[in-house]
Amino acid sequence: MNFILQVILSFFSIFGFAIIFNIPRRSIFLASINGMIGWIVFFYIQKFSTNFILPPLIGSLIVGLIGEILAIYHKQPATLFIIPGIIPFVPGYGIYYTMFHILNNDLSNALSTGVESIFVAIAIACGVVVATSLTRFIRPYLERLLN
């Protein structure tokens, strides 16, 4: 039940983010599916791992890989399918609690939450970059396969 709820909510949430970014209408469904898969991976890694870097890294890696493949298939820039998908990983949570701790004069907690959110942001970017470089190796094969 929880799984189905996560699938539905993440799909429509990313659908919403995609519309905020004025995505081309023909790409909107695939971009939301891509983001949904990424979120499910993110969610379950987060559940079973205490590491805070691993979920956004693997999540954005998956979003990046699927996005690159969709981009080759649709002859569109990969950004189209990647950007809506990585938004849920962005550490809005971290930014908020950093501010919250500063407000409560709890500077050591503020520092650790702040540094954590910076590393989450770096992990998201690294996942996407790794996905882009990986697809560069297999791109000729993929193009032959998909076109």
Partner 1 sequence: MKTNDENFVINLAISVGKIMLESGAEIYRVEETIERMISSKIDSKVDVFVLPTGIIVSAKSSTDSITRLERIQSSKIDLEAISRANSFSRIYTQNSLTDEELDVLLMSLTDIPKFSKKTTMFFTGLAGGLFTGLTGGSFLETIITFIASLSVGLILDKLSKFKPNFFIKNIIGGFLIATIGVLSYFLFKSFGINLDYNRIIIGSLMTLVPGVALTNGIRDLISGELIAGGARILEAIFIAIALAFGVGIALQISFSFV
Q: Which parts of this chain interact with partner 1 (CB under 8 A)?
A: 5-6, 9-10, 12-24, 27, 39, 43, 75-77, 79-80, 83, 86-90, 92-93, 95-96, 98-100, 102-103, 121-122, 124-126, 128-129
**Closest to 109 in 3D by CA, of 91, 123, 96:** 96
Radius of gyration of the CA atoms of the chain, in A: 17
Q: How far is the CB of 140 from partner 1 (least distance, A)?
A: 18
d(CA 36, CA 47): 16
d(CA 81, CA 85): 7
Please name the helix (run of DSSP H) or strand (run of DSSP E) that holds residue 51, with its range, or none.
none
Q: How far is the CB of 46 from partner 1 (least distance, A)?
A: 10
Q: How far is the CB of 137 from partner 1 (least distance, A)?
A: 17
| Closer Cβ to partner 1, 17 or 69, answer by number | 17
Q: How far is the CB of 99 from partner 1 (least distance, A)?
A: 4
User: What b/e string do you get for 86-114 counting C-beta neighbours within 10 Å, with b at 16 or more?
Assistant: bbbbebeebeebbeebeeeeeeeebeebb
| Closer Cβ to partner 1, 47 or 144, answer by number | 47
Q: How far is the CB of 111 from partner 1 (least distance, A)?
A: 14
| Closer Cβ to partner 1, 76 or 109, answer by number | 76
| Closer Cβ to partner 1, 121 or 138, answer by number | 121
d(CA 47, CA 101): 24
